[in-house]
Structure 1
Amino acid sequence: MNIGAMLHLPPDMWDGVLSTENLHILSATLTLLLPVLAFLYIHHDYKAFLSLGPGGTPATPLGYSKLKLLSLFTLRDPLRPLPIPPHFRPQNGYLTPSSLPTRPGSRPSVRGIAPQRQQTQRSSGDMYKSLVAATRKLISEPANCLVEQTSCFEKHSSGIFASTPITRTCGGEVCHAHPSDGSMHTTLHPADANIVIENGWGERHPLARGGWCRRFVPREFMLIYAPRDKEEVEVIMKIVSAAVWWVAGIDVEKEGGERKDNEARVQGFLTDCRVCRVHSCGSNGMEKMTGDA
């Protein structure tokens, strides 16, 4: 049965619909309409990209084009657990399933690659300042061997770096927070990343898939959701402690000689302290951690 019969059109009417003249008109209409629709989509999508604010990708048409190309290689499910390679020592991370409570409520809406930002459930200005104060308290303790520098990933905000990193990240970066929404990017042991995902506190970065994408972010790179109250700030600082342990080999919750955790030397990437203290991203144009949320 042809389409004309299915639509109950008389044969002569169906022949008129398929006339050469009508097909030419339809073809011309689509030729004119499709570029307009494509332009409107790109214009809207580009504005959405700009609305995410400053990040690791320049807010330019070239930067936008780069991200659209990278989007072909992103993770399809950012909540999928990370496999733990058999050569990792230890196989377990810093956290345990009972270390973190289950995050109440639904997950926030997240958009973007670089930058990647929350669209809902953002931190208030006061909560963001509480998060910054807590991270700077870690930095102020000399035994933690941490410094504050311009984020090597974001380039527009400051982050925490290990003075003597033992795990390969961008310049030894442990984490950085985003003043625009209160969320945070950090790198964790795969086991810890899975606990964070399972308990609802974060998700994997779209490019955190390993292999070729390691030139952009580590396979263990995570987005940690913005704190909504002081109790959640405390939970997030527990995650930050796990990130310090993973990148720096320091257990910030221990005292004295027990603080340096040799068990955290999982990838055998030991770096000279003199190199790590000089990061490639200087401090010019840095958006302060205490900036407006």
Structure 2
Amino acid sequence: MFDIPDRDGPAPRTRGPIPHGQLNQIAPTTLQEELWQRMRSLAGVYLAPTHVPYPEARAIHLAPEFGTGPDDAFIKHSREFAHLHPQQDGSLHLTLPPIAKKLVTEAGWGVPHPIQNTQLVYGPRDREEIEVVWRVVLESYSYARGRHSE
């Protein structure tokens, strides 16, 4: 069962809907890069341009033989299931099953995209937060693989 703790403090300010991102409480660059390295090292993942109008975002896609999740486990009918925004933002968008999306929102870790079927997840501010954000990324990955916990 997917579960995460409540996020401490107030939610960051966001902008959107296009581009949709985080405006303050920006994750330190070292944590953004660590998160990116973890994301890109997942089995079956390949790097390709994002399918959203945020060309500076770094996207991960899942090879068809690894990704057997439902259509809404991918962004815009592509193989992309997550992308990390540029360093001045530090948040990420990813797909999640409905219950996980609700839990992430209620725990204060992000908000649903206003017009797309993705979840904005706030960038991690410290070592503890990167582990929570990583659990959210792994839930998205499991969803895309057809193995989510719902």
Q: Pick the TM interval, shorter chain.
A: 0.7 to 0.9
Question: Which of residues 138, 142, 148 is equivalent to 1:245?
Answer: 142
For the 8 Å contact 1:196–1:202, the answer to whether it is kept is yes
Q: Secondary structure at the match of 1:133?
A: helix
Whichever structure has more strand as a proportion of its residues is 2
TM-superposed deviation, 1:137: 2.8
In the TM superposition, 1:1-293 aligns within 5 A as 95=2, 99-138=3-42, 144-153=43-52, 154-164=54-64, 165=67, 166-168=69-71, 169=74, 170=76, 171-179=78-86, 180-207=88-115, 217-218=116-117, 221-249=118-146, 261=147, 264=148
Q: Take 1:105 and 1:156, find their aligned partners in 2: how far apart are those partners?
A: 28
Spell out, residue by residue over 1:161-186, the C-alpha distance to the aligned partner (whole angstroms, 9 max, x if none): 11123322321211000122110001
Q: Take 1:146 and 1:135, find their aligned partners in 2: how far apart are those partners?
A: 8
What TM-score does the superposition give when structure 2 sets the normalisation length?
A: 0.85
For the 8 Å contact 1:130–1:230, the answer to whether it is kept is no
Q: Secondary structure at the match of 1:156?
A: coil
Q: Secondary structure at the match of 2:108?
A: coil
TM-superposed deviation, 1:156: 3.1
TM-superposed deviation, 1:194: 0.6
Q: Of the two structures, which has the highest relative contact order with CA contacts closer than 8 Å and spacing of 6 or more?
A: 2
Spell out, residue by residue over 1:171-213, the C-alpha distance to the aligned partner (whole angstroms, 9 max, x if none): 1211000122110001100000011011110101111xxxxxx
- The one-letter amino acid paired with 1:122 is I
Paired positions, count: 140
The structure with the larger Rg is: 1
Unaligned runs of 5+ in 1: 1-93, 139-143, 208-216, 250-260, 267-293
159-168 or 105-114: bigger deviation: 159-168
